[in-house]
Amino acid sequence: MHLRAALFLLLAAGVLLSVAPVSRAEDALEDGLDDDMDVEDELDLGLAGADDEDEGLEEEGEDEAPPPPKAPPAPKVTYKAPEPMGEHFFAESFDRGTLDGWVLSKAKKEDADEEIAKYDGKWAVEEMKDSKLPGDKGLVLKSRAKHHAISAPLLRPFTFDAAPLIIQYEVNFQSGIDCGGAYVKLLTQTPELNLDQFVDKTPYTIMFGPDKCGEDYKLHFIFRHKNPKTGEFEEKHAKKPDADLRSYFTDKKTHLFSLVVNPDNSFEVLVDQTVVNSGNLLKDMTPPVNPPAEIEDPEDQKPEDWDERPKIQDPDAAKPEDWDEDAPAQIPDDNAVKPDGWLDDEPEYIGDPDAIKPDDWDEDMDGEWEAPQVPNPACESAPGCGEWKRPMVDNPNYKGKWKPPMIDNPNYQGIWKPRKIPNPAFFEDLTPFRMTAFSAVGLELWSMTSDIFFDNFFITNDRNTADRWAADGWGLKKAAEGAAEPGLAAQMLTAAEERPWLWIVYVLTVGLPLVLLFVFCCSGKKKSAASPADYKKTDEPQPDVKEEEEEEEEEKSAAAEKNEEEDEEEEKNETGDEKLEDELRRSRRNRTRKD
């Protein structure tokens, strides 16, 4: 019974897991949207066709049996284009279906072959190939192995002042990604900025987003810092995220990438509104924003007599007189004795006596033919054949080449380093957040995989406004994708297609336990006749023994009854004898009295 209960619980758990994605989708609808936002107009979670089924059931006759209940369809999510609310500098959902407001680059990439120098990669505004939200469009990179460049101006330039910078956008690698990027560049506001000449060398303030080649998964955050002394710009790279980024590139789901840079120099990198990297512009960038106050003197040189050797050979040591450097490491074993029966005159290998020279053997071309060598059969029963040699053993007198022992160097001065001098290029910028203003957003990409989907670009200085935009856009996609997510079994099959070795894991962790449970629960055996040994172990009487014991009990009871009858007769006889003896005694007494 316990095993049957365990099997039932296991099967019940599997059913719950298979329907869990639908529950997760419903939870995503609640969690992905803030309670204070009016999103009821944007989500229609009614069951498709439920009213029609109810009407059809009412029209059926009462005598007809009702049809079997159907599984409820997945929740239906109705798409509505997000609308920017609050302070923002750029908002693009592409739901107009055009590239209005975007500028395609007409430039050529420098230091590149003529065939690939042009930014001629194709862009399109369309729905995802497997869209769960009909009507939701985005910007799609359509070409592979080509340079792509497209940009759009902001409503007004963003100036780094007292408010944070928040940029977010969505990416879906519909066909996966082999080698390519999906990052954005915030183009620096300069008089020379010309969007139709946008190239890789166009100055930018921040570069942010995913990038992957081979097994190197990256999530860039780079900003260009201006040296206040020289006016030159230098790229500063954020430390690598601690999170595993692989799934964002491989699961073919829409992910929301967000960057928040605050006036206190702190920053956060988020994926799907979860922080995957954070730090401080002054502490967590490479190279550091501020150079060191001191540097090594480039003119300083190590003195010729500077001794960096911590150990030296002992100059006073001498090789011992008995040290033999020529003694070999091994010598023949003088105690070894040739085994009895060793065949000195027999070779270990002989020519195969059964071998025949091939008919096509040409001695002029191939040389003199010799039979192939085979083990000498005479040596099979002997301890060995051929010349016997003593085995080699380690030489107890071997010492090798003599070297003087090492001692501490009395003249050791340590590792020489150039002296420190004040850094002539030193500066201290305590507010690296105040970056150069930017006035456009651009995508300048190369990819070996096509159909990269971009959507819902948003730049603002207000966190709540950004969260509302994310809920109205990415929140809907998350809910729709969650509602359409397959059950546990389908997910396991999909994973096994990508990683065939998972089948072994499934068999060991799922299949084998189920088979064992089935065998123990459902395949009981008929109880076989017990052997005499079993009766001895349990002290349970055998069938024949039972019959004999019953007969013995009957005989004993009959004998007991007979004995009781005999005892009664004896008692009666004894009673009669006693009476007779009493009468005789009385008669004797009476006679005595008369006499």
Span 584-593, pLDDT tens digits:
566 555 555 5
The pTM of this model reads 0.60
* Separation between Cα atoms, residue 338 and residue 333, nearest integer Å: 11
Q: Which amino acid is at 583?
A: E
**Structure confidence at residue 510 (pLDDT):** 72
Q: Would you say 336 and 395 are in contact if contact means Cβ atoms under 8 Å apart? A: no
Given a cut of 50, whether residue 35 has pLDDT beyond it is: no
End-to-end CA distance of the chain: 100
Under 8 Å between Cβ of 348 and 379: yes
Residue of 121, 119, 226, 250 whose CA lies nearest to 174 = 250
Question: For tokens 């924003």, what's the residue?
Answer: 289
Dmax over CA atoms of the chain, in Å, equals: 179
Report all structural domains of the chain as residue ranges with CATH numbers, in order of start: 90-296+431-461 (2.60.120.200)
**pLDDT at residue 79 greater than cutoff 90:** no
- Indicate the range of 42-51, 75-84, 481-490, 568-577 predicted with least confidence: 42-51
Mean pLDDT of the chain: 81
Residue 96 has pLDDT above 60, yes or no: yes
Average pLDDT over residues 8-26: 47
Task: Report the pLDDT value the prediction gives residue 50, as an integer from 0 to 100.
Answer: 38
Buried b (16+ CB within 10 A) or exposed e, 133-147: beebbbbbbeebebb
The DSSP element (H or E) to which 261 belongs, if any, is strand 255-261
More confident residue, 534 or 400: 400
Q: Residues 185, 220: contact at Cβ < 8 Å?
A: no
pLDDT above 70 coverage of the chain, percent? 72
Half-sphere exposure of residue 50: CA atoms within 13 angstroms, side-chain side = 10
Decide if 311 contacts 408 (C-beta within 8 A).
Answer: yes
**Which residue(s) pair with 177 in the sheet?**
none
**Both structure tokens of 53:** 């089924």
Position 590 scores a pLDDT of 56
- Give residue-wise pLDDT tens across range 315-330: 999 999 889 988 999 9
Q: What is the mean pLDDT of residues 176-192?
A: 95
